[in-house]
Amino acid sequence: MKTAQYGKGMRYKVRYLDPDGRERSKCFPDKCKKQADDFKLSMESDQRSGRYVDPDAGKTLLRDYAENWIKGQAADLNSRATLRQKVNSRILAYLGSKPLSAVEKPATIRDWLDWLRSSGTVSENYAEALYRTLSGMLESAVSEKLIHNNPCRAKGISRPRHKTAPAVAWDPERLTAIREAVPDRERIAVDLGVGLGLRFGEILGLSPDDVDDTAGVVHVRRQVRKVKGSGALVFSLPKRGKLRDVPLSPDLAALLQAYLAAFPAQPVTLPWKHPGGQPVTHTVFLSRPGGRTWDASGWSYHVWDPTFRRAGLTKRRRIDGIHALRHTYASLLLADGVSVRELATYLGHDKLSFTLEIYTHMLPSSHQRAQAAVTGFLRNHIAAQPPADGLQAA
């Protein structure tokens, strides 16, 4: 008599040695001998080609792997906190409870993208950044032989595409109106932004000791930044550690001297790099009374937003932050013939391609120069020579 268990038992067992010499095995049910043979051949082939992946490795949850992966991505605590928040809220919220073997399937990635886009709260640019983060994480899992393939590289996935919004520079009238409306003590921020192309944190960290009038340069050596999570302000190197020298115009040097005569630089003491770091003191151009420094939110509320109201201007979202002064600086240099490579150096960009992506539209048009060059060639070398034979039109 056939029982209820007939045909449900495991009939075949494949035994093999993994690269570490441990005996492993996998069982297959009745009538699945071909699958067992294929599995055996697959294991042998993977070991010979170096593509062997421990079958148990794929059982690791993405959440557990991600935590270990994040530790190796950034030494800077602030950058790591930003990365962890992004991964937790938009990647692990959907994929965190799934094992790596499930995440390895392109169908899972397509489901995640659909969930991401259907939320209605994620822009295409942010979705592209999340996709790159997940792809980098899974690429590491491949290199650690936890999974065979990175599903984010599969051809059957329509990945998000980054769209760069062109930088917007201010016209002279808007810049003048804002500068005149900023309180006298804080006006130097406008001069440093449009005159040196500094980021706001670099403006806050700039000291008169960094200004070399003789050489005509400003040494950008530090910034003030807020550590995410703690909210504490610290001194640190400029973004990505990019120390640089920026040309100083004589007129800006005179403005800085006049400002220091009216508002002497004040010493500010902050921890270095992280809240528990060694306290360091720098005498800086721009500070609040009592040796305190500004942070971005305090500056916006107490200085920047009221300035637009006093100037009678509407502050445009994502356009009229203090970073607009940096874009205006870039537009001035490009209009005067400074090369994109030199501009990238002055701005402290890592890659020339990044500078081009943001500021290409600000490059002076070369249409007229091109037309003139071709016209001159045609007139001097082609149009001036009559044809050797044949009829000529009247």
Going residue by residue through the chain, which has 394 residues, state the pLDDT in tens, using 9 for 90 and above.
666 666 667 788 888 877 777 788 888 887 888 988 888 888 877 777 777 777 777 788 999 999 989 988 866 677 788 888 889 999 999 999 999 999 999 999 999 999 998 988 888 889 999 999 999 999 999 988 888 889 999 988 988 988 777 789 999 999 999 999 999 999 999 999 999 999 999 999 999 999 999 999 999 999 999 988 778 999 999 998 899 999 999 999 999 999 999 999 999 999 999 888 999 999 999 999 888 999 999 999 999 999 999 999 999 988 999 999 999 999 999 888 899 999 999 999 988 888 888 887 787 665 565 666 677 766 776 655 555 555 454 4
What is 345-391 written as a DSSP string? HHHT-S-HHHHHHHHGGGSPP-HHHHHHHHHHHIIIIITTSPPSSS-
In angstroms, the CA 160 to CA 266 distance is 48
In angstroms, the CA 192 to CA 185 distance is 13
In angstroms, the CA 270 to CA 258 distance is 27
Burial of 306 (0-12, 13-18, 19+ CB in 10 A): middle
Region 59-153: CATH code = 1.10.150.130
- Other CB atoms within 10 A of residue 198 CB: 27
In angstroms, the CA 293 to CA 233 distance is 8
pTM of the predicted structure, to 2 decimals? 0.70
Burial of 389 (0-12, 13-18, 19+ CB in 10 A): exposed
Query: For residue 217, what is the DSSP state?
Result: E
Tell me the backbone φ, ψ of residue 166, rounded to 5 degrees.
Answer: -60, 140
Length of the chain: 394
pLDDT of 384 reads 53
Query: For residue 272, what is the DSSP state?
Result: B
Nearest to 16 by CA among 42, 35, 34: 42
In angstroms, the CA 343 to CA 352 distance is 9
pLDDT of 393 reads 45
In angstroms, the CA 255 to CA 327 distance is 21
Domain boundaries, the chain: 59-153, 172-362
Architecture of domain 172-362: Orthogonal Bundle (1.10)
Across 199-278, where does the E strand assignment appear?
211-212, 217-220, 223-226, 233-236, 244-247, 266-271
Find the radius of gyration of the CA atoms of the chain: 31
How far is CA 348 from each of CA 207, 208, 244, 388, rounded to the nearest angstrom? 18, 20, 7, 59
In angstroms, the CA 104 to CA 65 distance is 13
